[in-house]
Chains A and B, each alone.
Chain A
Amino acid sequence: MSEPLLSVEDLRVGFTTEGGRLQAVDGVSFGVAPGEVLAIVGESGSGKSVTAQTILGLTRSPNATIEGSVRLRGTELVDAGEAELRQVRGAQIGMVFQDPMTSLNPVYRVGGQIVEAIRAHGSDTSKEAARERAIELLDSVGIVDAERRVDDYPHEFSGGMRQRAMIAMALALEPEVLIADEPTTALDVTIQAQILRLLEGLNRERNLATILITHDLGVVAEVADRVLVMYAGRVVEEGALDEIFYDPQHPYTWGLLGSLSRIDRPRPHRLPQISGAPPSLISLPEGCAFRTRCPHEFAKCSQQPPLEAKLADGAGHADRCWLDLERKREKRQVGGRIGLEAPS
């Protein structure tokens, strides 16, 4: 894998709210190389979307504190001016959002919104040329009869088609990085597979560096090269796809894997879940943030474990857990498969 195109280092995003200050993202680091799909996985509130949006400066507000570094080809984006950032948005980094039903403006034609994206960066492209390009783009993401559909309004598109249009819009200026924030969450299962296949194809064809934000490990298994597991604003485990799926080190990852339903395994009586709810970001527990839900908690967990690689053969496989390797291998086996046992 080549050098990272986009690298995030020790990113911290805090918000001041009425309830107090909360740290939505707390020291996240990763890099993405061209042609690579990096998946960021976690529950709601784990900070994955905030991380993604902060890359493009979309979380900037008077209530937000953003620290750390986001570099695109060496150019720092965290402290870049609004005008400079605007040149990056859409042109170098494209973004696809979660809900295609609400992410397109209902009052403008789909084609018009793509044309707007094309012409957002200097209007040297004529309207006619931009329209032709919009038709081409819609066609390339699999919109049938794009010539005619380009003049439709968003409400005339189905959910899957809208997400295709969103992807076309994100790719309008041929960015090198694509950030997809839960791109399949709001879609039917069959459509999800189509959209994933489309993203995968585009990633390969255009050698895109792709960041895929999701809470769905099924989606991750389908397309990701590397995986980042986030919990309460921190990365708790990261590694290559196989490492995460076959040799997971963090109990939270076990829990996520354990709660997957798989057709190649006997169906459990009841789908396991991780008990409890994610902690409030305003008052995080001391030490490991997951310990309040972890059945393997012990004395040392009241100190914050560092994110380190502990396995001899996996330099890129790191986790944040105090348990030693032997104990982990033993404890993650629940009923013959990987999982998190229910607290007694």
Chain B
Amino acid sequence: MARFAIRRLAGMVLVLFAVSVLVFAIFNLIPNSDPAQRMAGKNADATLVKSIEEDWGFDEPVWVQYGSMMEKLFTGELISYGDQLNVVDRIVEGLPATFSLGIGAAVIWLFFGVLFGYLSGTRAGGWLDRALTVGSVAGISIPVFLIATLFLYFLTYKIELFPASGYVPLEEDPIQWAYHLILPWFTLAILNIGFYSRVLRSSMLNVMNEDYVRTARAKGLDENRVMVRHVLRNSLIPIVTLFGLDFGATIFGGAIITEVIFSLGGVGQYSAEAITNLDLPPLMAVTFFGAFFVVLFNALTDIVYAYLDPRIRLGASAQ
């Protein structure tokens, strides 16, 4: 188990290093991204640009710049090129909104994804299955920005049921918090509800043909128990895999469009600004934290696997 954990950890460090180098390299290769030039403004004279370069260390070799940026990132002293504020502070400020959005949406998509998948799988070929299939495919195909716009147009503008935008902190007013987040939650969740229900449906149809399901029926178990304990339980493994990947990715990165449309002021919106302004430090920090979460949730997924399937449990401790 210890060796397993160490190997996992070494893998994590390697992934994070690779991600940070890639972001840094891409940024330096983008045309018109020279930060000194951008800070100096249009038509700035060469001496000003030169002095900015010296102040910020842009004249150093690239790998030295990379080293100092990573050092500042870890000590929390990274300053953005654009608004020249502390990047880590800005991210921490945006976290409550981002977490509220991501976690809430995840709960919703997991609940409805599993529910719809189960209903579809147990009634395969029936009218409910067909209806849910059409709904799922629609949910997967309609882009997030369109869903958000439709929600806003019909539910906010036309019938004024929900507020248009903004984030109310949870500790300030839990009801307003949820009220303001309902539309963003569903906007973000709809794609995955469709996707998860399709995956669970096909997984269940596979498991239903397993010999142990026939054994369960031959024992005289009632159909609901056969479906929940023997079919659903064994069908959840692909769902756990997907969730491990999606949850990490959504919390940092996947929610940019949703955050911007509903002006939630979270980390996603911050990265959107950074992209528009070709501002490297926030991009680096957000990407780095995003990758960290994805890798972390992958590791957690493995632990949940072991809970779901005892055969994996034994394999892990034997390593």
Check A89 against B219 for contact (C-beta < 8 Å). yes
A120: which B residues are within 8 A, CB to CB?
219-222, 225
- Bound Cα distance from A104 to B212, whole angstroms: 5
Residue on A nearest B230 in the bound complex, by CB: A105
- Bound Cα distance from A280 to B229, whole angstroms: 37
The reply on A121 being an interface residue by CB < 8 A is yes
The reply on B175 being an interface residue by CB < 8 A is no
Given A82-B223, A97-B211, A102-B211, A107:B310 Cβ within 8 A? yes
Given A58-B214, A102-B210, A90:B309 Cβ within 8 A? no
A275: which B residues are within 8 A, CB to CB?
none
**Residue among A95, A108, A156 making CB contact with B218, cutoff 8 Å:** A95
- Bound Cα distance from A116 to B308, whole angstroms: 19
Residue on A nearest B213 in the bound complex, by CB: A105
Majority SS of interface residues in chain B? Answer: helix
For chain B, residues 195 to 249, give those with C-beta under 8 angstroms from any C-beta of chain A: 210-212, 214-223, 225, 229-230, 233-234
Check A104 against B215 for contact (C-beta < 8 Å). yes
> A238-277 CB contact bits vs B (8 Å, 1 = yes)?
0000000000000000000000000000000000000000
B214: which A residues are within 8 A, CB to CB?
53, 58, 97, 103
Check B308 against A107 for contact (C-beta < 8 Å). yes
Residue on B nearest A106 in the bound complex, by CB: B311
B210, B211, B219: residue with the most chain A Cβ atoms closer than 10 Å: B219
B217: which A residues are within 8 A, CB to CB?
58, 89
A90: which B residues are within 8 A, CB to CB?
218-220
Within the complex, what minimum Cβ distance (angstroms) separates B67 from chain A?
49
A105: which B residues are within 8 A, CB to CB?
212, 215-216, 230, 234
On chain A, the number of residues with a Cβ less than 8 Å from chain B's Cβ atoms is 32
The reply on A56 being an interface residue by CB < 8 A is yes
Within the complex, what minimum Cβ distance (angstroms) separates A270 from chain B?
35
- Bound Cα distance from A106 to B234, whole angstroms: 9
**Residue among B218, B220, B229 making CB contact with A121, cutoff 8 Å:** B220
Check A56 against B219 for contact (C-beta < 8 Å). no
**Residue among B212, B221, B223, B225 making CB contact with A106, cutoff 8 Å:** B212
Within the complex, what minimum Cβ distance (angstroms) separates B117 from chain A?
18
Check B219 against A155 for contact (C-beta < 8 Å). no
> B296-319 CB contact bits vs A (8 Å, 1 = yes)?
000000000000111100100000
A156: which B residues are within 8 A, CB to CB?
314
Within the complex, what minimum Cβ distance (angstroms) separates A166 from chain B?
7
Check B215 against A106 for contact (C-beta < 8 Å). no
Residue on B nearest A83 in the bound complex, by CB: B222
The reply on A153 being an interface residue by CB < 8 A is yes
A53, A94, A116: residue with the most chain B Cβ atoms closer than 10 Å: A116
Check B222 against A86 for contact (C-beta < 8 Å). yes
A91: which B residues are within 8 A, CB to CB?
220
A56: which B residues are within 8 A, CB to CB?
218
**Residue among B212, B220, B308, B310 making CB contact with A103, cutoff 8 Å:** B212
A58: which B residues are within 8 A, CB to CB?
214, 217-218
Residue on A nearest B207 in the bound complex, by CB: A105
For chain A, residues 47 to 96, give those with C-beta under 8 angstroms from any C-beta of chain B: 53, 56, 58, 82, 86-91, 94-95
The reply on A174 being an interface residue by CB < 8 A is no
B223: which A residues are within 8 A, CB to CB?
82
B309: which A residues are within 8 A, CB to CB?
106-107
- Bound Cα distance from A90 to B214, whole angstroms: 12
- Bound Cα distance from A121 to B218, whole angstroms: 12
Check B220 against A89 for contact (C-beta < 8 Å). yes
B229: which A residues are within 8 A, CB to CB?
108, 116
- Bound Cα distance from A104 to B211, whole angstroms: 8
Residue on B nearest A166 in the bound complex, by CB: B215
Check A87 against B220 for contact (C-beta < 8 Å). yes
The reply on A99 being an interface residue by CB < 8 A is yes
B308: which A residues are within 8 A, CB to CB?
107
- Bound Cα distance from A102 to B212, whole angstroms: 6
- Bound Cα distance from A97 to B210, whole angstroms: 12
Given A153-B310, A155-B310, A103:B215 Cβ within 8 A? yes
Check B215 against A97 for contact (C-beta < 8 Å). yes
Check A86 against B234 for contact (C-beta < 8 Å). no
A53: which B residues are within 8 A, CB to CB?
214
B215: which A residues are within 8 A, CB to CB?
97, 103-105, 166, 169
The reply on A37 being an interface residue by CB < 8 A is no
Within the complex, what minimum Cβ distance (angstroms) separates B120 from chain A?
17
For chain A, residues 85 to 137, give those with C-beta under 8 angstroms from any C-beta of chain B: 86-91, 94-95, 97-99, 102-108, 116-117, 120-121
**Residue among B211, B219, B221 making CB contact with A99, cutoff 8 Å:** B211
Check B311 against A116 for contact (C-beta < 8 Å). no
Given A105-B230, A106-B310, A155-B311, A169:B219 Cβ within 8 A? yes
Residue on A nearest B222 in the bound complex, by CB: A86
Within the complex, what minimum Cβ distance (angstroms) separates B213 from chain A?
8
Binding site for A on B (CB under 8 A): 210-212, 214-223, 225, 229-230, 233-234, 308-311, 314
Binding site for B on A (CB under 8 A): 53, 56, 58, 82, 86-91, 94-95, 97-99, 102-108, 116-117, 120-121, 153, 155-156, 166, 169-170
12 other A-B residue contacts (CB within 8 Å) besides A89-B219, A107-B234: A58-B217, A90-B218, A90-B219, A97-B218, A103-B212, A105-B216, A106-B212, A106-B310, A120-B219, A153-B310, A156-B314, A170-B218
Question: 5 closest A-B pairs (Cβ-Cβ)?
Answer: A90-B220, A89-B220, A102-B211, A105-B212, A117-B219
20 CB contacts below 8 A, A to B, read A58-B218, A86-B222, A87-B220, A89-B218, A89-B219, A89-B220, A95-B218, A97-B215, A98-B211, A103-B214, A104-B212, A105-B216, A105-B230, A107-B234, A107-B308, A120-B219, A120-B221, A120-B222, A120-B225, A169-B215
